[in-house]
Each structure stands twice: as structure tokens, then as C-alpha cells.
């Protein structure tokens, strides 16, 4: 009888131990809106790999790509409310949450990528991330979306005046909208998840995105021209729920997470840059006409946008980023 009781107690102890081991694993749901072979998804997979290795499986990511959990705005609001732990999104929608992120939306503000990386990873970039804290959002790092280029199905856009009259899908961002309005286009803000169908049905004539998104989203199936304007540089921001970060993860886990994030961020940036160099050729092979415009004309045409938004963004921080690239 005692032997049976002993075996029973041992079985219970093993079950309790297994539950403790299972409950010790923290699964972090992270959402983004683009394709599984994109720089976002590949960077998050790399981060997941690092986290699993360095926490002995205590932390892993559950990645939702292709807007499975909604738009970028949905994801930001979900992280702020705590219904979602983490998201990786373009910086542009964050201009609706804090003016600090409007800096990156100024046309042609980023001309030297490497120098901008150093600025983003320093105190200036951290202060921009910290502007989200009061909304329960913790900015873990500034990754890369890339230079945004223009596609359309109507005309080979080379000069700024060529966009006049075109219906261009944009993100819900005031500077993006103002920039294209100033060039005579008709901006049509809409969530990314609706874009392919809108292009296919002619609801909009064109859109603008980094090359990797243009390619992985297969816009070459519904767009004829791609103009390598590089008019906006888009960072991507890795956000986590502040309460989750502070209350669920231990101090040691947070330390490891930050180390892994920094390594994954560098990896993702390099992946993005390498991809850009190859994608113009791939888009051409897929049937698109690739146009290389004179960027000086575009820079001149969009200068008034700086004056329009200088007060909202802050002249000092604009000059800081510009001077960091000289």
C-alpha cells in the first residue's frame, strides 16, 4: 500500500513539475502586415531563433504575418491595450500617436543610411522611442522598412509633375498625404491589407513602398511602372506592451531580449539592403518598367513640406538628423 502511495505521489510530483516547465515558457505574439518572405518576417524569425537559443526555450515568438491580426494601426492599438504583446510596423502610422515620428516622413530626410543607423541607435533615436511610453508602448528598437519607391499602372513617372492626377494609395500619414498633394496627385489613404485588390480593381492607380514589399506583395502583377524615387525613408519600429515587458519578463530575460533585439535589428537591416540591390532586376524580369528619375528635381519640388511641418516636428531634431549625415 505504501509503495502504491509513493508511486502516486511521485506521479503527481512529475505532473506538477511538467506544468511548471510548461508555464515557464513565455510565448510572445507579434503581428505585422507584410508577406512571410519579407524583411520583417525574416528578421522576426531570426529574433525568435536567438531568443530560443539564449533563454533555453523560455521565450519564443508566435509570428502573425500578412495582416492576419489587422492593419498596422490595429496592431499598435492592440499592443497599447495589451490584447497583443508585440508588433513590427513602419514608423509612418506612429505619427498619429506622437509627433516625434513625423521626422522620418519628411521627403529625402535620409540620404546616408549608415550614418542614420548610428543616429537612430543613439540617444536621439531612444528619445523618439521613449515618446511612446505614456501610451503603454515600449519601443525596443528601430529596424528598417527601407526607401519607398513609386509604382503605378498609368504612366512612366520620371519627373515630379508626372504624378499629377494619379490616385496614389498612401498610409494614413499627414506628411505623406501633404507631399503627394503638393505634387498634384490624389492621395488615397487605406490599410495595406486592402491595397492589392484596390490596385487590381483600379480603385487607385498606384502606391509607394520599399522594393522588398513591392516584390513580395506581387504588385508587379497589377502595376506596370516602378520609379526608383526613394522619396521617403521608412524605419520600422519593434513595439512591445510596456506592462508586459515590465511585469511578465524577468530582469535577466529583458537583458537577453535587448541583446537579441540589437543583433536581429542589424541582421534585418543588412537583409533589407541586400534585397534592394537585387529587386529592381527581379521586378524588370517580372514585366515592370523600371525608371530611374533625377532625384534632385524631386528634392527641390518637395522642399516646402519641411516648412509646413517644422513647427510640429521641431527644427532642432530635423537639423540634428540632417547634420548627422554630413
**Which of these ranges, 17-26, 51-60, 220-229, 293-302, has the smallest mean pLDDT?**
17-26
- Which pLDDT value is given to residue 19? 37
pLDDT by residue (tens digit) across 175-190? 999 999 999 999 999 9
CATH of 23-324, one of 3.40.50.720, 1.10.760.10, 2.60.40.1180, 3.40.190.170: 3.40.190.170
Using the structure block, give the residue that is written with the C-alpha cell 516584390: 215
Average pLDDT value for residue range 62-66: 97
C-alpha radius of gyration, the chain, whole number: 22
Report how far residue 71's alpha carbon sits from residue 36's, in angstroms, rounded to the nearest whole number. Answer: 16
- Asked if pLDDT for residue 303 goes beyond 60, the answer is yes
pLDDT in tens, 22-41: 447 999 999 999 999 999 99
pLDDT band at residue 321, thresholds of 50, 70 and 90? very high
Cα angle 230, 144, 129; round to 5: 115
Cβ–Cβ < 8 Å for 228, 292: yes
CB 74 within 8 A of CB 84: no
**pLDDT band at residue 225 under the 50/70/90 scheme:** very high
The CA-atom distances, in angstroms, between 50 and each of 20, 39, 46, 55, 152 are 23, 16, 6, 8, 39
The domain spans of the chain are 23-324
Q: How high is the mean pLDDT of the chain?
A: 91
What pTM does this model have? 0.85
Query: 13 is written with which cell numbers?
Result: 510530483
pLDDT for the residue numbered 12? 43
CB contact at 8 A, 259 and 54? yes
Average pLDDT over residues 99-126: 95
Predicted local confidence at residue 15, as pLDDT: 42
Mean of pLDDT values over 85-101: 91
Amino acid at each position: 500500500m505504501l509503495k502504491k502511495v509513493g508511486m502516486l505521489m511521485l506521479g503527481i510530483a512529475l505532473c506538477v513539475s511538467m506544468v511548471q516547465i510548461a508555464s515557464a515558457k513565455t510565448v510572445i505574439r507579434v503581428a505585422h502586415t507584410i508577406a512571410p518572405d519579407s524583411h520583417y518576417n525574416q528578421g522576426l524569425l531570426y529574433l525568435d531563433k536567438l531568443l530560443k537559443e539564449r533563454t533555453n526555450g523560455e521565450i519564443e515568438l508566435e509570428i502573425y504575418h500578412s495582416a492576419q491580426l489587422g492593419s498596422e494601426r490595429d496592431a499598435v492599438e492592440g499592443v497599447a491595450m495589451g490584447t497583443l504583446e508585440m508588433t513590427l510596423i513602419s514608423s509612418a502610422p506612429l505619427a498619429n500617436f506622437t509627433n516625434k515620428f513625423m521626422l522620418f516622413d519628411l521627403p529625402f530626410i535620409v540620404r546616408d543610411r549608415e550614418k542614420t543607423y548610428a543616429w537612430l541607435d543613439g540617444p536621439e533615436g531612444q528619445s523618439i522611442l521613449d515618446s511612446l511610453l505614456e501610451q503603454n508602448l515600449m519601443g525596443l528598437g528601430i529596424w528598417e522598412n527601407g526607401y519607398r519607391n513609386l509604382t503605378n499602372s498609368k504612366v512612366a513617372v520620371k519627373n515630379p509633375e508626372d504624378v499629377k492626377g494619379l490616385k496614389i494609395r498612401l498610409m494614413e500619414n499627414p506628411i505623406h498625404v501633404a507631399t503627394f498633394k503638393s505634387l498634384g496627385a490624389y492621395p488615397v489613404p487605406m490599410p495595406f491589407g486592402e491595397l492589392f485588390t484596390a490596385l487590381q480593381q483600379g480603385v487607385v492607380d498606384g502606391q509607394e513602398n520599399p522594393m522588398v514589399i513591392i516584390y513580395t506583395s506581387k504588385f508587379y502583377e497589377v502595376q506596370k511602372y516602378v520609379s526608383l524615387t526613394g522619396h521617403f525613408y521608412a524605419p520600422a519600429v519593434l513595439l512591445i506592451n510596456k506592462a508586459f515587458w515590465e511585469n511578465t519578463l524577468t530582469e535577466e530575460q529583458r537583458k537577453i531580449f535587448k541583446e537579441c533585439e540589437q543583433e536581429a535589428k542589424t541582421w534585418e537591416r543588412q537583409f533589407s539592403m541586400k534585397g534592394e540591390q537585387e529587386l529592381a532586376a527581379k521586378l524588370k524580369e517580372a514585366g515592370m518598367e523600371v525608371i530611374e528619375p533625377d532625384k534632385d528635381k524631386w528634392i527641390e519640388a518637395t522642399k516646402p513640406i519641411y516648412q509646413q511641418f517644422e513647427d510640429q516636428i521641431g527644427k532642432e531634431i530635423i537639423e540634428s538628423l540632417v547634420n548627422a549625415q554630413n
